[in-house]
Structure 1
Amino acid sequence: MARRETPEINAGSMADIAFLLLIFFLVTTTMDVDSGVSKKLAEKTPPDVDLPKIKERNIFEVNINRNNQLLVEGEFMEPKDLKDAAVKFIDNGGGVGNPVGDEEGKECDYCQGDKDPESSDHPNKAIIAVESDRATEYGTYLIVQNELLSAYRVLRNRLCQQKYGMSFTELEQAFKDSQRKDDDLRKKLELVKKSYPQIITDVDPTSVQ
């Protein structure tokens, strides 16, 4: 009986198709981007410059220990409660008259806080100091930063709504839609940002439990 030969399969076209599919997936696939926090690092202060004295009541201490636990002003706090606590501190407006108000000694006339004399004098003087342990998880740090930024967003939205009938988010979008050329919108944005400046500083990480 004659031996039947197995017909060969031309794989040349299949290689071309596989190559085209590889190019297609490389072009169309989106890559995951690691999350991060946009930070502008402060420049080193020259040795001959006298640093201004900061009153303790104008500093809001936020600590994250190595167990990813949050301590605010020395007391344990859940991350979900941090935003409200930061809003209360920033918006306190405890300074009345010179020299405990803003940089010009003026009382905060737009603050709606408790005006507690033991808390911040003015949003322009309210400093949030974040200290983390070297063993703190990065995800926890990001959660804390997001809550603090949300606190400023709440206050800016409220003030912008009162002054211009729109939220700060909407004002920012309107300015972007104008291709950043509308001077009136620019001035409004600068005024709101100046009223509630984001003053968040990172303290050197510790190694203490």
Structure 2
Amino acid sequence: MFIRKQKHQIPGLNTTSTADISFMLLIFFLVTTSMDVDKGLRRQLPPAQPKTTQQESIVDKDKLLELSITADNVVMQNGHKIRLQDLQVKVEDFIMRLGKEHLITIKTAPESTYDAYFQLQHCLMAAYKEVRTKWAQQHFGHSFDDCSDSERQTVIEHCPQRIAETYQDMGGGTSR
């Protein structure tokens, strides 16, 4: 009699449950993690080290609006204390009166809070938006938000954002 050798088959691994768990973990991480949405104000930060020396330009004081935030988070306009509600109207009038020739400078004390700085920036952006909306309404008959791309570009050319910020160097001097 011949004895027949039986081949032993190795059972395959059951990966169904592993795939299910991996899929559930993937879904869990997709649901629980949040995607950061870019919010905020578009600003170009100063270079880490200036490549060229910047020349100071002479600006007529009548065309300059100096804003500053003190260490106590008090907003000052040309050296006088002002509320943010009043500042927006003054900035709108200033921009409308001078058009492209205006310049707004912001000086911030290093001890001031980011919230005070952000509120000032928000006030300025609201003033610019209001001025641009008024200009678009006068020239195109509709608001800035309803303008086409070419109309927006025209409005921006006539009402540019001209804001200069000074910041503290590590050495204690100011730079622009």
Residue 155 of structure 1 is aligned with which of 131, 146, 163?
131
User: Relative to structure 1, is the Cα distance of residues 45 and 154 closer, same or farther in structure 2, using a 3 angstrom cutoff?
Assistant: farther
* 2:170 counterpart of 1:194: no
SS of 1:134's partner is coil
Q: Give the SS at the match of 2:44.
A: coil
Q: TM-score, normalised by structure 2?
A: 0.71
SS in 1 for 2:111: coil
| Number of residue equivalences | 152
The aligned residue for residue 60 of structure 1 is 65
Q: Which sections of structure 1, spanning at least 5 residues, go unmatched?
A: 1-11, 93-121, 176-185
1:77 positional shift: 1.6
Q: Following the alignment from structure 1 to structure 2, what is the Cα–Cα distance between the partners of residues 25 and 54? A: 58
Superposed counterparts of 1:99-118, under 5 Å:
none
The residue that corresponds to 1:139 in the other structure is: 115
Q: Which structure: larger Rg?
A: 2
Q: Return closer, same or farther for 1:140/1:19 CA change in 2, 3 Å cut-off.
A: farther
2:85 to 80, 89, 113: 80
Question: In structure 2, what residue type is equivalent to 1:38?
Answer: R
Q: 2:75 aligns with which of 70, 73, 83?
A: 70
For structure 2, the 5+ residue unaligned runs are 1-15
Give, in whole Å, the separation in 2 of the partners of 1:68 and 1:19.
52
For residue 164 of structure 2, give the secondary structure of its aligned residue in structure 1: strand
Matched, 1:125 2:101: yes
Structure 1 counterpart of 2:65, which letter?
A: F
Q: What SS does the aligned partner of 1:124 have?
A: helix
Distance 1:31 1:23 in 2: 15
Q: Which structure features the higher share of helix residues?
A: 2
1:132-188 Cα distance to aligned partner (Å, 9 max, x none): 0112212221111111111111011011112112111111xx43xxxxxxxxxx1x2
Cα distance, 1:87 vs structure 2: 0.6
Task: Return closer, same or farther for 1:22/1:65 CA change in 2, 3 Å cut-off.
Answer: farther
Note the aligned Cα RMSD (angstroms): 3.0
1:37 aligns with 2:41: yes
CA distance in 2: counterparts of 1:22 and 1:141, whole angstroms? 42
8 A Cα contact 1:131 1:205, kept in partner? no
Q: Secondary structure at the match of 2:101?
A: coil
Q: TM-score, normalised by structure 1?
A: 0.61
In structure 1, the residue matched to 2:167 is 204
Identity of aligned residues (%): 23
CA distance in 2, matches of 1:158, 1:59: 22
Which of residues 26, 35, 50 in structure 1 aligns to 2:29? Answer: 26
Task: State the SS of the aligned residue for 2:112.
Answer: coil
SS of 1:90's equivalent in the other structure is helix
